[in-house]
Amino acid sequence: MKASEIPEIFGSKVFNDKVMRERLPENDYIAVRRAIEFGEPLTIQTAKSVAKAMKEWAIENGATHFTHWFQPMTGITAEKHDGFIEPTGTGEVIMKFSEKSLVKGESDASSFPSGGLRATFEARGYTAWDPTSYAFIKDGSFYVPTAFCSYGGEALDKKTPLLRSMTALKKQALRVLRLFGDNTTQTVVPTVGAEQEYFLIDKKVYEKRLDLIHCGRTLFGARPAKGQELEDHYYGAIKSRVAGFMKEVDEELWKLGVYAKTKHNEVAPAQHELACVFTSCNLASDHNQLTMETLKSVANRHGLVCLLHEKPFASVSGSGKHNNWSLSTDKGENLLEPGETPQTNARFLLFLLAVIKAVDEYQDLLRISVATAGNDHRLGASEAPPAIISIYLGEELEGVLKAIKEDTDYNAKTRGELQIGLSVLPPIRKDSTDRNRTSPFAFTGNKFEFRMVGSSANISCPNFIINTIVAEELCQFADRLERATDFNAELHALLKETITNHDRIIFSGNNYSKEWEKEAERRGLLNLKSTVDALPYYALDKNVATFKKHAVLSENEIRSRMEILFENYANIVHIEALTALDMARKQVIPSIVKYQTFILKEIKGKKEYPELNVALEEGILKDISTLADKFNVYLNKLCKHLDGYKASLPAKQRAEYCKGKLLPDMEKLRKYADAMELIIGEEFNPYPVYEDILYSVKY
């Protein structure tokens, strides 16, 4: 593809604004735009008009089927395809797509996780068109993005709470803007740019690793001689095979209207990244789902496999998905953009402090938003933030906030002294200080980068939580300021009070250090190291109250999600334990026995010649036998604990059992298997080792 062709193909498979403007009557187009921008409902007549235009456009572009595309609590997207064909009664067919087909679909809700919201026999589930996310064509089908709910209206998906949270955030942000004299802004939208990390390995190698096939990560594997120590892969020249893959990924995503912009090699061997331009939170979430699907499908066409697990290889960096979050108005203003005038600076600081207060008061929810069995292996390692939530602001912003807190002058090094006060707030530069790559939640000029999100995650989850908790703080601010008799004085008091009460969450040092862990404990910050530790916080009274207040989740919906997350954790770890047992019995043990037999034969052969020394062989045999004995001890423990796993127990108990019993057994089993892998000869390896996998793409 030529560069000049990109604007032409971009969005060519999307029923986007351009297509709607061309194909819809003006009144219907305006109605759809108002639905997208302001959440206004559509009439049946407009829905009919849209459905007709969609059908004609989709068929012209080769679609034969349509599907309601939704995001159930399985962690992946779901779709059921129906043909446009309708029988005429004369043995012929017509192509039909009604407003009913567009607006609502029905699926078997009992077949998707509901966390107890639905009994198995209560099967109805409905998909409802989301007009804020454009429909598109993929693989000969017309995809309509939808929300998914039960017969009783409970959310059964990840999109519904996101849409609700965006509505809540808009409402509270507008209240604050009105207090600053902005009476023209009509909507505020959270915007997101997601950075997607992933590993790319040869398919032939992948197919020889049972753990990668079943679990997405290696359960055994010794550290390679060369990993990422030289830091030569990061931003290095992209191999031609990988470049071809990346080129096709870009082209496929551009056709789907995904703003894929940046691509490069990441830190670990075989690791890469794709980043997208900012767009509305909901659209960014859909785009990221499409990105992950496209990475996998295109990789398969190139004889490759894309791994999205957070920690597929134990000894090198894992993969995250940095979630860059900000707030934008319909006038194009970024509310987290530091201003150049006192009035906009005061507004900026209020929105900034709403985020700081939200992060401090809802550390538990932010940790839960990224909690998975896979991400537990990554958080706290050398490439990811720890499980402790904190905020990095940078030297200048910290200085401004400190000056407000202490009622002192702010001494900007390059600007002289500036009096802190609402009438003379200092200009605050964008990118005023360096980044802190160890921070979980860092302010990076005009946005917050939430770096704890795992690479396989649906970003709807962290974003609906960020949206909700920030909406709550803005609501509290607006309630207080709306009652004020002296707005400026009350605003100044509010800023000072908020900084004083919540500056414990601000930390600019090394988040990886042991010293920070101790300091965080002293400050009273949470350190929820595992998913099992974090999930019970979901249903705390304060969290339930906040979600209910802003109509994002009911208490039943919260408890159902908590149940689903416990269930998911238990199932994943249980599958991993069964896979480890299978590999240990069928691959590791036979390879050990073959190697021991080989060494014994060597010793026996040499003993026929007294002049030959067998100390080396005897030493190797002793070492491998010692390790094999220890391996067998933990294999037996794993077998025992797997036998003790009770599928009938509640999900929380099963998750606790998996964390306390199965994971430690698997770690010990791996320790001794990996040690033996470093001893046995290459020809005895039962599966491709790390060198084979990480360097499987050679050109």
In the three-class reduction of DSSP (H, G, I as helix; E, B as strand; rest coil), residue 305 is classed as: strand
Whether pLDDT at 541 is above 90:
yes
What is the C-alpha separation between 510 and 670, in angstroms, rounded? 30
Are the C-beta atoms of residues 9 and 255 closer than 8 Å to each other? Answer: yes
What is the C-alpha separation between 246 and 36, in angstroms, rounded? 32
Q: Which tokens belong to 208?
A: 């020889």
Q: Determine the pLDDT at residue 118.
A: 62
What is the C-alpha separation between 142 and 120, in angstroms, rounded? 30
Q: What is the pLDDT confidence band of residue 385, given thresholds at 50, 70 and 90?
A: confident
Q: Which of 21-35, 134-148, 385-399, 469-483 has the lowest mean pLDDT?
A: 385-399
Which residues touch 343 (CB under 8 Å, ≥6 apart)? 180
Q: What is the pLDDT confidence band of residue 415, given thresholds at 50, 70 and 90?
A: very low
Q: What is the pLDDT confidence band of residue 417, given thresholds at 50, 70 and 90?
A: very low
The mean per-residue pLDDT over the stretch 608-622 comes to 88
Q: Determine the pLDDT at residue 424.
A: 42
For helices 342-361 and 159-179, give the axis angle rounded to 10 degrees: 140
| 136 CA to centre of own chain | 23
What is the C-alpha separation between 627 and 633, in angstroms, rounded? 10
Q: Which of 14-18, 118-122, 373-377 has the lowest mean pLDDT?
A: 118-122
Whether pLDDT at 416 is above 60:
no
Q: What is the pLDDT confidence band of residue 414, given thresholds at 50, 70 and 90?
A: very low
Q: Determine the pLDDT at residue 226.
A: 87
What is the C-alpha separation between 234 and 264, in angstroms, rounded? 8
**String of DSSP letters for 572-633:** HHHHHHHHHHHHIIIIIHHHHHHHHHHHHHHHHHHHTSTTS--HHHHHHHHHHHHHHHHHHH
Q: Determine the pLDDT at residue 451.
A: 94
The mean per-residue pLDDT over the stretch 498-510 comes to 95
Q: What is the pLDDT confidence band of residue 613, given thresholds at 50, 70 and 90?
A: confident
Q: Which of 6-20, 122-136, 340-354, 444-458 has the lowest mean pLDDT?
A: 340-354
Are the C-beta atoms of residues 311 and 217 closer than 8 Å to each other? Answer: yes
Would you say how long the chain is, in residues?
A: 699
Q: What is the pLDDT confidence band of residue 87, given thresholds at 50, 70 and 90?
A: confident
Residue pLDDT, tens place only, 249-284: 999 999 999 999 999 999 999 999 999 999 999 999
The mean per-residue pLDDT over the stretch 314-328 comes to 94
Residue pLDDT, tens place only, 173-225: 999 999 999 999 999 999 999 999 999 999 999 999 999 999 999 999 999 98
DSSP lists the bridge partners of residue 83 as 65
Q: Determine the pLDDT at residue 380.
A: 64
Q: What is the mean pLDDT of the chain?
A: 90
> SS3 string of 398-461?
HHHHHHHHHCCCEEECCCEEECCCCCCCCCCCCCCCCCCCCCCEEECCCCEEECCCECCCCCHH
Residue pLDDT, tens place only, 111-143: 787 777 765 555 668 899 999 999 999 999 999
Q: Which of 97-106, 254-263, 274-283, 366-375 has the lowest mean pLDDT?
A: 97-106
Q: What is the pLDDT confidence band of residue 152, given thresholds at 50, 70 and 90?
A: confident
Phi and psi at 140, nearest 5°, equal 80, 10
Token pair 């649906």 is at which residue?
458
Q: What is the pLDDT confidence band of residue 66, given thresholds at 50, 70 and 90?
A: very high
In terms of Cα–Cα distance, which of 68, 66, 180 is closest to 484? 180
What is the C-alpha separation between 79 and 163, in angstroms, rounded? 20
The mean per-residue pLDDT over the stretch 471-491 comes to 96
What the chain holds in terms of domains, given with CATH numbers, is 3-156 (3.10.20.70), 166-553 (3.30.590.10), 568-688 (1.20.120.1560)
For residue 515, count other CB atoms closer than 10 A to its CB.
Answer: 10
Report the share of the chain in percent with pLDDT over 90. 74
For helices 615-643 and 589-607, give the axis angle rounded to 10 degrees: 160
